[in-house]
Structure 1
Amino acid sequence: MSAAARILVEATPLALQGYHRAGAWRYCLELLRHLPAVAPAEWRLQPFFHFFRRRHLAGMRSALELAGHDAPVLSRWHPRLVRALGWPIERLAGPVDLFHGAFDRLPRCRRAARVLTVHDLAFRRAPEGLPPQWVAELEATVPPSVAAADRILAVSEFTRRDLIERLGADPERVHVAHHGVGPEMRPPADPERDADLLRRRFGLEPGYLLQLGTLQPNKNIEGLCAAYQILRRRGCKRPLVLAGGPGWMFEPMWRRIVARGDDRGVVRLGYVADEDVPLLYGSCAAFALVSRLEGFGIPVLEAMACGAPVVAADACSLPEVAGDAALLAPPDDPAAIAAALERAAEPGPERERLRAAGRRRAAGFTWRRSAEAHVEVYRLALADAADRR
């Protein structure tokens, strides 16, 4: 039997529209959804929201309903002000046994155990791909949070290595908890019905090339569009579909794509509803995620689970996630990306091999398993905090 413990899990992105369906949003939602089933009954798990305002209420309520939680802890104070004043989490939320900073940063904790999830170190690896004010904010907050944490959760071995090599984290205190993929991601049960839905909702025919995710520089949208133009010059008639809303630095990125003429044949769908995501994955000829930097890369697993052959970059965390179930290409080589897309989309043995291998690969990543790894790290952090007292 475990001792009683009050555990706060930061859930701020769930209330923010700009995060909807992004990796951080999905991680937080699934963690809150699955933790209660695997955590000791004596633990009281509550989502915590920083800098909460009335405009965030609808997003929070919707997400917490999906996650099955109804007792959030809200702070109206901005984290920067809290840091400047030196307030501990206990001043904002009362007695806390463990605080989980699920998004790269930790508040000051007086007695609470401190667990930190780090998704990536983009601000160190590729600061030119982020707004300068974000880089400054992350430089000011992430390294001190890493130093203060009792235990650190990295979302991949790639991020774990970065934490150790770039921020000097203690290897014995950095643990990996991979993301998962949910049961709603599955191959089409009725391809004819799905084809009809696809036409009515998006005006698309099955057999397009797909990229799904927030459109921002780290996703290498420019490289993917350049690769697609190579395919068009070879006679490819399939459209390249970009599903996802604009992210940081989108406008200058898209202007460069248009100036080169690399937007020809590209269809932008914008944000898509959750219920349409499996439809888009399951109806594509091939899915591509050729990012220069990912902490994990959930869309790779989602696409695989839905039966799509996948092309991924041979960089960052993506080979770790994809294993041998995807075709890999250098993110800075449009010709190699084009060749991989051509192989993946062409009907035949290679495409069927990728589809079968992808489904097997995705089945090994579940959110329940991720939640179980979190619980084990929480136990270690609670023991660390007890030793300090």
Structure 2
Amino acid sequence: MERYLEKNIQQILTLIERLVNIDSGSYVKQGVDEVGNILSKYYQELGFEVNVIQQQEYGNHLVIQHKNANNPKIIILAHMDTVFPEGTVEERSFHYKDDHAYGPGVIDMKASLVTLYYAIKALMVAGHEGYKDIQIVLNSDEEIGSITSRPLIEKLAIGKRYALVMEPARRNGKLVSSRRGKGNFTLHVEGRAAHSGIEPEKGRSAIEALAHKIIQLHQLNDIKKGISVNVGLIEGGSSVNTISDHAVAQIDVRIREIDQVELMEEVLEKICTTTDVSGTKVTIEGEINRPPMEKTNKTEQLLHIIEEVGDSIGIDIDDTATGGGSDAAFTAALGIATIDGLGPVGGYPHSDKEYLEISSLVPRTLLLASIIQRLAER
């Protein structure tokens, strides 16, 4: 398989370039669907069936498995959307220099979409049949919390033994065995407007009330327990000489353990339904929309298998925890052995510095193909 991949490295890069040069931000439905249409044709040429799950607002989701698959026990998750708005490709299209390739979404995760496809091709060329034991879900809204695809992922994951998630490997090549859970909340404060010079006593400042809540929310941070709360965006008021009648805050919450989900939601509700400024009203909306991916015994066992596979092909395997969220959280929460970070190596995702290490394409594709085959044989 390695020889086949090395021989076809230019074709791999060409397909990555083609996908990167399509604007496919989560809100660019046309672009996400274009990526999906390209991949659908490639998979169909290999004898795979593609079930298109139509979406109105976001891109369509794809469920892919070989026509001869029979109750596959491996689910593979990858996403077609990026965080970049329409027009980004025109500003900085795909290009590469030395061992680094650049472009919007090149590592998160256009390259992973391609290495997954070529891992399957490599299995076929080698005469292995592990590709018959996988079901692939390519979703369109991972970067905005998998709003429409979470129910689909959870439904298809039921009964699976293993989940392989194609987020990129860490910059040091490590796989991801645990992630913190994530929640998004919006805090609304209603006050009463008044002229700050003429009749300030008639006003009730929403901004003042919000300031109290920001302090209380940040006091919830407990790094040792893996809890972090960040008020990342605020807005409010209408002019500098007007006591504000409205204020809004966007809150990011991260947790490490599943038992912390209900606890944090209760604490946030308690803090954000009372006010510290008479005459103002405080409300909160939102939820923990990604549970934590905890490193369970099942995950440890899967990691051990992957380590054995790595040893057999000369790749050292190590794992790490990360604070970022991914769809791995959904399969892990269902009790399925889940490993993330199975894409190629790169760095600086979600930025204009985002890059892919070209030299990681062959070994990481070979690793993925070998893992699929080993798991299929179990």
Q: TM-score, normalised by structure 2?
A: 0.25
Q: Which has the higher contact order (CA 8 A, sep 6+)?
A: 2
**TM-score, structure 1 as length reference:** 0.24
More strand by share: 2
